[in-house]
Amino acid sequence: MFRRFRRRNQTTATRPWSRERLLVMLIGSALTVAVLLAGLVMAIVYALTDRGTAAVTAGEDGQVAADAPIRDRIAAAPMASLDPDAAFTPDPAVTEAAAIKVPMPTTVGPADVPSGFPRTPQGAVGQLAAIEQTVLESMSLPVTAEVHSAWVQPDGPSLEEWELTRNVQTFLASARQGGQEKDFTTLITANPAAGLVKGTDGSDWAVVCVLMDVQAAIKTESRMGYGLCSRMQWIDGRWQVAAGAAPAKAPSAWPGSRAAADAGWLTWTDEVE
């Protein structure tokens, strides 16, 4: 996948993380175990269902107006709805989901993000995964800002509104990291486990989604599945996060689970020449 392009500021200390700490990383929670347990359900529901403020207003059924631009209708179309606990529940599928073959990166682009993906929808999937992996594994606001500046178009989500920025902020605040980036005792790995192409409009625009296998280590180890969708556009010879309202929230499910298959996730397979 992208293991050859490991990020800056990684540590060799690999202590396992607790389930509670991993929840803190991606969805936010309270600062003590007692408060965490009391507010856990609300934190999960907010993180996995909040759609934020969109430039194109959806109706009660989640759809935009029929006469809205096709790109807005593709982005706003609702995704599968899953129980929030699906992100933390293995529940292996009896048969493996269909696969999506994703090209490998061939170079390192701006902000040290793996790049060189082809001008295909599958290439957009690979580029989104590389962007997401870089941000999540760094858990650094300066790195996130650098990646955003290099890879998000001017009319795309602002740095403050970007979902990945909010993930980093939540981790740093709730895990008491005490600065703008994770401390040296923390190790986070994020590898793509599934992907899908939600829709396309021509050869240079697509909404694609990636389900990441996120693992983190501080004291004990835990794991979850985290889904993300984004508009992507081919500009200046590479896929970039496109302008426009954020797509509907992607379903998060344990990689390889029945819930992931039911939600339409396709098993990630490297395209080897």
pLDDT in tens, 9-41: 444 344 455 555 555 555 443 333 322 322 333
SS3 180: coil
Report the pLDDT value the prediction gives residue 167, as an integer from 0 to 100: 87
Spatial CB neighbours of 199, under 8 Å, sequence gap ≥ 6: 74, 75, 77, 206, 207
- Average pLDDT over the chain, rounded to whole? 80
Distance from the Cα of residue 117 to its chain's centroid: 18
Report d(CA 260, CA 25) in Å as an integer.
21
Quick one: how far is CA 75 from the chain centroid? 15
Measured between alpha carbons, how far is residue 131 from residues 90, 164, 168, 240 in Å?
26, 10, 14, 9
Residue matched to tokens 């701006």: 110
Domain that holds residue 162: 3-271
What are the pLDDT digits (tens) for 69-117? 999 999 999 999 998 889 888 899 999 899 999 999 999 999 999 999 9
Question: Euclidean distance between the first and final Cα of the chain, in Å?
Answer: 14
Where does the pLDDT of residue 273 fall: very low under 50, low under 70, confident under 90, or very high at 90 and above? Answer: confident
Q: What is the pLDDT of residue 27?
A: 47
> How far apart are the C-alpha atoms of 189 and 3, rounded to whole Å?
10
Backbone angles phi, psi at 161, to 5 degrees: -90, -15
Distance CA 166, CA 156 (A): 15
**Total structural domains within the chain:** 1
Q: How confident is the model at residue 187 (pLDDT cuts 50, 70, 90)?
A: confident
